[in-house]
Structure 1
Amino acid sequence: MEGDNLKKTIFLILLVVISAYLFIFQWKLAPRPIYSLITNSIDLSKENISGLKLHQDINSPSFIKEYGKIQSLNDNNSYDYFNLKNGLVIATDKNSHMIIRIIVNDNHDKKLVTQNGIKLGDLSEKVVKLYGKNYYKRQEQGTDILGYIDKKNQTTLEFWCVENKIQMIRLDIASIN
C-alpha cells in the first residue's frame, strides 16, 4: 500500500514539474488563441494590405474589377485559398466567399504594405514602433512571430520574422486556424 502511495506522489510531482516546464519555457509554441487571453487589444478596424480588407466579398463587382475573377488555389474543409496579383494570398469562407485571411509572402515590387506602412523586409523594431508594445511573441515552423490582436473586431495581425526581418505578413479573423 505504501509503495502505491509513493508511486502516485512521484507521478504527481513529475507531472507538476513537466507542466511547469512546458508552461514557462515553451509558451511561445502555444496555439494562437491562447494569446488573446494574455495580450492587450489594439484597434485593427482599419487594417488592410494595400487596400484589401478582411470581410470583402470576392464576388463583389469592386473586387472583381481590381483582381479579376479568381480560381481556387488550394482548399480545405472550411475555406479556400486564392493567389492574387502581386504576391497576395487570401483565404475565404466556403459559404460566404468573404475574405478571412490575407497573406503577403512574396513582394517583389514592395508595394504591398499594411495600414501603417509595414512591408516585407522591414525590421521587427519598425513594427513595434508603428503598432505599439501590446503584442505577443510566438513561434511556428521555426519562425519568430510578432502578433497583434483586436479583441473587439476579432482580428489578428502577425508579422513572421527571420533574423529580425519581416518575411510574411498575415491578417486574419481571430478564429481561423
Structure 2
Amino acid sequence: MSDEFELDTDDLTRRMEGAMGSLRTEFASLRTGRASGSMLEPIMVDAYGAMTPINQVGTVNVPEPRMVTINVWDKSLVGKVEKAIRESGLGINPQLNGTIIMLPIPELNEERRRELSKVAGQYAEHARVSIRNIRRDGMDQIKKHKDDMSEDDAKLWESEVQDLTDSYIKKVDAALETKQEEIMQV
C-alpha cells in the first residue's frame, strides 16, 4: 500500500463500534417481559428544576424476574418519579410503598411483542445508517487522496472499508435477530 496515504481504519472501526454500543443501549431499554433496570435508563425526572436520569434520584433494583423497584432517596420526588414512569410509554403501572416505587412487569401480549419487534428493527436501521455514513466518510478520504496513490491501492483501501462495513452490518443484523427472538419469546 502507498506510503503517501494511510487510511485510519482504527478510527473507522472505533466509530462503527460506537454505533454498535449505541444500538446495544437502545436494545437494553426495550421491554422483553423480564424485569431489567436498564429499561428505566431513558426516563428523565424533573428533579430540583432539572431533568435528571431516574437512576440519579433513587436506587434501581430487580428483586425478582417480574419486578423492578426504585428506592427514591428524597421523599418529595416520589410523585415526580411515579409521574415520569407513567408518562414514559413503557406500559408499566407503578405502585407506591413509602419511598419505594414497585414496578410489576406484566406479560407482553402478542400485539405489544410485534410493536416492540418493529421498534427494535427501527433501532437497527438507525445503526446501519450510522455505519454506512462512517463508510462514506472513509470512501471520501480515499477519493480525496486518489491522486497520491495507484489505482490498485485505491481499490485495496476501498475494499478494506467495504469489508469493515459489511462485518458491522452483519453484527447489527445478528443483534437484531437475537433481540427479536428475545422479544417474541413467550
Q: Aligning the two structures, in what range does the TM-score lie when normalised by the shorter sequence?
A: under 0.3
Greater RCO, 1 or 2 (C-alpha within 8 Å, sep 6+): 2
| TM-score (structure 1 length as normaliser) | 0.26
Q: Going by fraction, where is strand more abundant, 1 or 2? A: 1
Which protein is richer in helix relative to its size? 2
Structure number with bigger Rg: 2
